[in-house]
Amino acid sequence: MVAVNEPIDPVVRLAISQWPDDAPRGAVSTFCAEQRISRKSFYELRKRAKAEGPSAVLEPRTRRPKSSPSALDDEVKAQAVAVRAALEASGLDHGPISVHDKMQSMGLTHVPSTASLARIFREAGVARLEPRKKPRSAWRRFVYPAPNACWQLDGTEYVLTGGRRCVILQLIDDHSRYAVGSHVASGETADAAITVFDKAVAAHGVPQRLLTDNGPAFNPSRRGRIGQLVEHAQALGVETITGKPYKPTTQGKNERFHQTLFRYLDKQPLADTLTELQAQVDAFDHIYNTQRPHQGLPGRVTPLTAWQATAKADPPHPKRGRPMFDPPTPRPQPVPRPPADLPVGVQLRTVTTSGTISVDAVTYMVDVDHAFDHVLVAADDHTIVIANTDGKVLVEHPRPAPGITYVGNRQPRGPRPSKPRPSPKS
C-alpha cells in the first residue's frame, strides 16, 4: 500500500479529486485495490480536495515541519561570530568549544551547541579547516593523581624586536595543567632552569617528580653526566625523569602549552626587552590559570579549579648526601714510540671516543674498548691494518670500494653481554 504522503500517480490523484458523491457501494474499495493505495489515503485526499479544492491534491505535500523552534536566528549567529572574533583578537582559543564556554560565562540567553557553532562558523567562512584528526576517544591519557605529583618543564624559543632570540621556560603541573612558573631568559641554560624551578617551589611547594627532556640544560643523564638542575632537584628529594630521545610527545602537555602561549603572544605588541616579555607571559599565565576553561580537564574547568579540587601530593624527603669516593685511577696509556722509530708507511694514531679511526676519508670501527688508545695504522693500495703498539692486529680490511665512507668491525651493535660467572660447583 502507498501512504498518504508517498508518491501517488497524478492521474490517481486527479481521479480522487473528481470522485462522484453518488458512486456505488464498494467502488472505493475496488478503486483502492486496483491502484494499490489504502482507503485511508483515498479519504484523506478526498477530504483535502473538498476543503481546499481539487488542485490541492495533485502534488504531495512537503514533510518539512511548519515551525522549527530550535532554529537559530541571525542575531544569535552574529553574536557567536562576534564572540569568536573577540577571542581570536585576544589571542585565546576560539574554536566551537571555547566560544560555547565563553557565551555561557557571559550569561547569554541562547547559547548554541558546539556542533551548531561549528556549522555557523563554516557558513560564515571564518572556520579554520583542518584535516580529519584521530578521535579523542582513541587518545591514551596519563594523568598523575594529585597536584605536585609531577611537574613538566620545557623551554621554547621566542623573538624580541630586532630579531633577538630568547627562551621562555614554562613549568606546569601534570595533574591540573596549572602553570606553576614561567621565566624568560636569554638562553636555555641550567641557571635559567633552576631559576624557574625555585620560583615555582617557593610559591607552590616541592613536587615529587620533575619531567623534562634530555637537553643539556635540563637532564643530560642519558648523555652520561648529571646536570645542575638534576643535582639541585635531587637535593630536595625530587625524582628527575626524562622522556625518550626524539619523543616530544612525552612532554605533550607542555608542548600544547607552548602553542597556546604563542597564539596569545602573537596578538600582543612585540616585546623589546626580556622584562616586557616576562610581563606578557605573566599576564598569559593568569588568564590561562583562572579564566580559560581547559578542554583537557574533566568538565572543562580552569586549571586553578582543578588545582584546588584535590589535595597536593606529599612533598618528598631530601636525600642524604652520598659518600664521596676518590675517582678511579685512569688506565695508564702505553707510551707511544717516537715517529722516528716507526717503519715507513706506518702511522701512530689515537682511537676516538666512539672507537673509530679515519684513514683517507674512510672511518674504520676498531672497538669502543680501545677508545683513546694509541694504535698503529699501516695502509697500502689494497689493505688497511690497525694494530696496537705491541704489534697485535686489531683490524684488517681490504680497501673499500669508492664511495664507501664507513667500515664496521663485523661485531654486533649494542653492549656486549656480560660473561657468566662460573658455577661454585664447577
Residue 62, number of CB atoms within 10 A of its CB = 8
Q: What is the pLDDT of residue 101?
A: 81
Contacts of 46 (CB under 8 A, 6+ apart): 16, 17, 19
Contacts of 261 (CB under 8 A, 6+ apart): 156, 168, 170, 281, 284
Write out the H or E segment, with its range, that includes residue 231: helix 228-235
The torsion of the CA quartet 91, 97, 102, 103, rounded to 10 degrees, works out to 130
All residue ranges of the chain with pLDDT < 50 are 4, 338, 426
Q: What is the pLDDT of residue 369?
A: 84
Q: What is the pLDDT of residue 134?
A: 59
**Spatial contact of 104 and 114, defined as CB atoms under 8 Å apart:** no
Q: What is the pLDDT of residue 426?
A: 46
* Cα(258)–Cα(187) distance, integer angstroms: 16
Helices (H), 58-212: 74-89, 96-105, 114-124, 190-204
* Cα(316)–Cα(208) distance, integer angstroms: 6
DSSP state for residue 300 in the 8-state scheme: G
Q: What is the pLDDT of residues 274-283, one digit of tens each?
A: 999 999 999 9
3-class DSSP string for 359-388: ECCEEEECCHHHCCCEEEEEECCCEEEEEE
The pTM for the full model equals: 0.54
Residue-by-residue DSSP string for 116-156: HHHHHHHHHT-----PPPPPGGG------SSTTS-EEEEEE
Q: Which residue has the cell 537559530?
A: 72
Write out the H or E segment, with its range, that includes residue 356: strand 356-359
What are the φ and ψ backbone dihedral angles of 34, each rounded to 5 degrees? -65, -40
* Cα(306)–Cα(287) distance, integer angstroms: 15
